[in-house]
């Protein structure tokens, strides 16, 4: 009996251990996030108008340059003879440059409109099937063709309504040259896509035919 009483007294005198929480909700030092590693792992998206990532930056500039100069001189000189001359000169420079140089470099396309002996015309389209078109080059090219054609169309329509003859004639010249290149490259791009689709179809059919022939021979 005395031994049991002595054991109980010793149990009461032993200090109780502090209870530990099951879940630690906070720490003495906050967790540090590595911002540098996160930014390095995520690639930055570049703009399609960044010339630093263009394959042909000079061609991108020239596909805009002559169009912009023609439009700027038109806005400066209005319906004067200088506006007429400068718009024709720079629009002609642009037409030749885009048709023969920048279209081939930037999108791998070229078009020709051949006049036959009987007086009829024939469209011919050329494309580079193995050319990898740069996204910046492509964006600059089609933006220039669409944007300036639309601008000349707006000026043509407004001056036709206001009966400003001299400006209307200049607008028609600028619109005609821009529209011809846009239409030619639009048809050329469609022809290129059709050729690529036919080529893929031919390759697929050849592969299937060869595979079936090998299976039948076994």
Q: Is the dihedral of CA 41, 45, 50, 51 positive or negative?
A: positive
CB neighbour list of residue 93: distance below 8 Å, 6 or more residues apart: 66
The answer to whether the CB of 69 falls within 8 A of the CB of 85 is no
Torsion of CA 84, 90, 94, 97, to 10 degrees: 140
If you average pLDDT over each of 34-38, 83-87, 126-130, which comes out highest? 83-87
Domain coordinates of the chain in residue numbers?
57-209
Stated as kind and residue range, the H or E segment containing 100 is: none
Going by pLDDT thresholds of 50, 70 and 90, the confidence category of residue 30 is very low
Q: What is the pTM of this model?
A: 0.70
Answer whether residue 17 shows pLDDT above 80. Answer: no
Percent of the chain residues topping a pLDDT of 90: 54
Mean pLDDT of the chain: 80
Q: Is 192 exposed, middle or buried (0-12, 13-18, 19+ CB in 10 A)?
A: buried
């Amino acid at each position: 009996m005395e031994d049991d009483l002595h054991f109980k007294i010793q149990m009461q005198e032993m200090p109780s251990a502090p209870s530990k929480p099951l879940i630690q909700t906070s720490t003495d030092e906050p967790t540090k996030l590595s911002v540098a590693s996160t930014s390095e792992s995520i690639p930055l998206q570049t703009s399609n108008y960044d010339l630093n990532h263009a394959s042909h930056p000079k061609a991108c500039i020239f596909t805009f340059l002559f169009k912009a100069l023609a439009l700027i001189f038109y806005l400066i000189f209005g319906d004067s003879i200088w506006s007429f001359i400068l718009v024709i000169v720079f629009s002609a420079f642009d037409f030749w440059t885009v048709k023969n140089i920048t279209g081939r470099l930037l999108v791998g396309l070229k078009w020709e409109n051949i006049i036959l002996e009987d007086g009829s015309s024939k469209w011919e389209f050329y494309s580079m099937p193995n050319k990898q078109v740069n996204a910046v080059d492509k964006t600059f090219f089609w933006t220039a063709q669409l944007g300036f054609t639309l601008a000349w169309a707006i000026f043509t329509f407004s001056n036709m309504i206001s009966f400003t003859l001299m400006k209307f004639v200049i607008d028609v010249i600028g619109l005609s040259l821009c529209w011809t290149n846009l239409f030619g490259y639009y048809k050329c791009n469609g022809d290129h896509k059709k050729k690529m689709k036919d080529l893929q179809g031919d390759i697929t059919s050849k592969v299937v035919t060869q595979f079936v022939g090998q299976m039948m021979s076994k």
